[in-house]
């Protein structure tokens, strides 16, 4: 039977977060209230060069109050995920990808938001017109062998969930017998 | 320099979601507004039996409006993550784990919430006192060889990001040369 929605209202509409409250009927038949947030869908890109290095970025995150290493990516900002991925890759790393293939779709926090994150594998990398490393203030671009990025995941140096999943998926794809 | 917070206010405090709005100074020095949500920290458990099967659960998710296969887990509900993991494992699968080891910590959506998800590897599984499969309405318990679960991840049949990351981490741990 699953869940059904009786009514829905917007409690707050902000520039990045919209908060909804729905009246629902739970799977057990009881009435309930379900609050959830709408945020932009996301993209994350595993960009691999010919030497097998992956491009990572490091920047300041407000909520954890620390620098985090993660894959290039961000919100789709109303674009289709493929277009958004190419845009984010160039904005954050200065790179254009000749080939962009889907690597999967994730639900980062499906009890709280419908927002999904689209993963891509980018190859055929070349410098973009911007001819710089990053347009983001304080962002550092890193190039690590994919195996070292996987070790950083295992050591909890990379903790952003969609980057973790995408790096491990790319590692599996690079060695299907793994 | 990073981000700094000037003021903070609670826009809404609900049973599961609290919405905050902070006035901030961005890394480039400009003033801004940052809205974010507080939700419970989470736990996810990779429970492996002696045959190398992993325990998964399937249930109805409200927001995606579909059944999702994921690892046992849920909110910490104020408990320390280790205690919460043992509780969630027994509630959802009827199993007690003699050994519970940390497998990592993830940030599922760090631009939107500080909430973290704690991953564990559970072994030494035996039936709990509850002697049933699950206390959750409509939840189905599955036992799959770990390799099949990894294939389900690669086929996007499992998309909940922390389950994806934890299954791939457990797969790597089971075969460190992979």
Residue-wise pLDDT tens digits, B60-110? 999 999 999 999 999 999 999 999 999 999 999 999 999 999 999 999 999
Q: Does B165 touch chain A (CB under 8 A)?
A: yes
How far is B105 from A158, CA to CA, in rounded Å?
Answer: 9
Residue B141 — φ and ψ, nearest 5°?
Answer: -100, 130
Q: Does B11 touch chain A (CB under 8 A)?
A: yes
Residue B32: burial class (beta carbons within 10 Å; 0-12, 13-18, 19+): middle
Residue A88 contacts by C-beta under 8 Å, 6 or more apart in sequence? A43, A45, A72, A73, A74
**pLDDT at residue number B129:** 75
Residue A151 contacts by C-beta under 8 Å, 6 or more apart in sequence? none
Cβ–Cβ gap A105/B156 under 8 Å? yes
Complex ipTM over 0.85? yes
Interface of A with B in 44-103 (CB under 8 A): 59-65, 67-68
Based on C-alpha coordinates, what's the Rg of chain A?
19
User: For chain B, how far is it from start to end, CA to CA, in angstroms?
Assistant: 39
How far is A74 from A163, CA to CA, in rounded Å?
Answer: 11
Residue B91 contacts by C-beta under 8 Å, 6 or more apart in sequence? B74, B134, B135, B136
Q: Which residues of B touch A11 (CB under 8 A)?
A: 12, 14, 19
Low pLDDT (below 50) residues in chain A: none
Of A11, A39, A137, the CB nearest to B112: A39
For B48-62, the three-class secondary structure string (H helix, E strand, C coil) is: ECCCCEEEEEEEEEC
Query: Per-residue confidence at B174, pLDDT binned at 50, 70, 90?
Result: confident
Residue B8 contacts by C-beta under 8 Å, 6 or more apart in sequence? B20, B21, B22, B23
DSSP reduced 3-state for B173: helix
Q: From residue B164, how far is each of A130, A138, B38, B47 by CA, in Å? A: 35, 30, 23, 14
Asked if residue B46 lies in contact with residue B106, where contact means CB atoms within 8 angstroms, the answer is no
Residue-wise pLDDT tens digits, A80-126? 999 999 999 999 999 999 999 999 999 999 999 999 999 999 999 99
**Buried b / exposed e along B82-96 (16+ C-beta atoms within 10 A):** eebbbebbbbbbbbb
How far is A168 from A1, CA to CA, in rounded Å?
Answer: 35
**pLDDT at residue number A152:** 98
How far is A172 from B151, CA to CA, in rounded Å?
Answer: 10
Q: Which residues of B touch A162 (CB under 8 A)?
A: 161
pTM of the model: 0.96
Residue-wise pLDDT tens digits, B32-68? 999 999 999 999 999 999 999 999 999 999 999 999 9
How far is A44 from A38, CA to CA, in rounded Å?
Answer: 19
């Amino acid at each position: 039977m699953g869940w059904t929605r009786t009514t829905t209202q917007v409690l707050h509409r902000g520039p990045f977060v919209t908060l909804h409250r729905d009246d629902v009927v739970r799977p057990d038949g009881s009435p309930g209230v379900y609050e959830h947030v709408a945020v932009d869908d996301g993209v994350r890109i595993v960009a691999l060069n010919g030497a097998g290095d992956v491009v990572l970025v490091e920047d300041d995150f407000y909520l954890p109050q620390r620098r985090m290493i993660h894959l290039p990516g961000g919100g789709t900002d109303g674009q289709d995920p493929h277009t958004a991925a190419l845009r984010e890759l160039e904005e954050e790393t200065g790179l254009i990808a000749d080939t962009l293939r889907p690597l999967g779709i994730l639900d980062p926090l499906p009890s709280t938001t419908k927002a999904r994150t689209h993963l891509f594998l980018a190859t055929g990398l070349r410098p973009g017109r911007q001819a710089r490393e990053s347009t983001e203030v304080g962002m550092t671009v890193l190039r690590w062998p994919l195996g070292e990025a996987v070790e950083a995941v295992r050591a909890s140096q990379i903790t952003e969930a969609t980057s973790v999943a995408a790096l491990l998926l790319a590692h599996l794809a690079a060695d299907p017998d793994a």
